[in-house]
């Protein structure tokens, strides 16, 4: 996956990471170990899902990210991202409108989108990029039906902004995303080991 992400990153002059590692308390319990295997310039999206220790854990992850040359985005909590000085925030589709208030706060803002209208809305509200899912069949309990690389490429052509691909992305499927026009790839379990 790192090679595919590097190929995507080498195509453009984007300052956006070409690889996003999404954490999940159940599926990625060893976040720091996974971070140590990521290539420099990748980003970690820390999703605390309401954990009581979210802030101290986010601060530790930020320190680790800085030491490893990674970026840290906080999932669904812009206030926490701003408080700890994270590099950005990732907004679930239901919170994408919050991107409006974050445009000039110095954060990289990504937003989840599960279809073209949601992706267009998130970009119009000020998201720097959208993370579209699911692309391939996924083990995620929240993954919808996969759209596949052909439909993803069609979305990328008309959406009007940068797109990341998430959902079932792994070493075998990532290469199929090269011709789609995405700026990067994202994964949960494929990056944990």
Q: What is the pLDDT of residues 30-74, one digit of tens each?
A: 999 999 999 999 999 999 999 999 999 999 999 999 999 999 999
What are the sequence ranges of the domains in the chain?
Answer: 2-191
2-191 adopts what CATH topology? TIM Barrel (3.20.20)
Under 8 Å between Cβ of 165 and 188: no
Tell me the pTM.
0.95
Question: pLDDT digits over 89-138, tens only?
Answer: 999 999 999 999 997 899 999 999 999 999 999 999 999 999 999 999 98
Q: Is 42 exposed, middle or buried (0-12, 13-18, 19+ CB in 10 A)?
A: buried
Rounded Cα–Cα distance for residues 65 and 105 (Å): 20
């Amino acid at each position: 996956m790192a090679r595919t992400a590097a190929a995507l990153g080498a195509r453009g002059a984007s300052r956006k990471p070409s690889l996003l590692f999404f954490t999940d308390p159940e599926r990625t319990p060893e976040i720091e170990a996974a971070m140590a295997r990521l290539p420099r310039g990748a980003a970690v999206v820390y999703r605390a899902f309401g954990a009581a220790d979210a802030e101290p854990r986010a601060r530790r992850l930020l320190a680790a990210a800085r030491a490893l040359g990674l970026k840290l985005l906080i999932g669904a909590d812009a206030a926490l991202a701003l408080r700890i000085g994270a590099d950005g925030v990732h907004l679930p589709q239901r919170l994408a409108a919050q991107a409006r208030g974050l445009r000039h706060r110095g954060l990289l803002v990504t937003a989840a989108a599960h279809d073209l209208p949601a992706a267009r809305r998130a970009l119009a509200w000020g998201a720097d990029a959208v993370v579209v899912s699911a692309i391939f069949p996924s083990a995620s309990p929240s993954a919808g039906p996969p759209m596949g690389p052909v439909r993803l490429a069609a979305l990328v052509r008309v959406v009007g902004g940068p797109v990341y691909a998430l959902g079932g992305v792994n070493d075998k499927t990532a290469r199929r995303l090269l011709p789609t026009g995405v700026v990067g790839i994202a994964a949960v379990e494929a990056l944990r080991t």
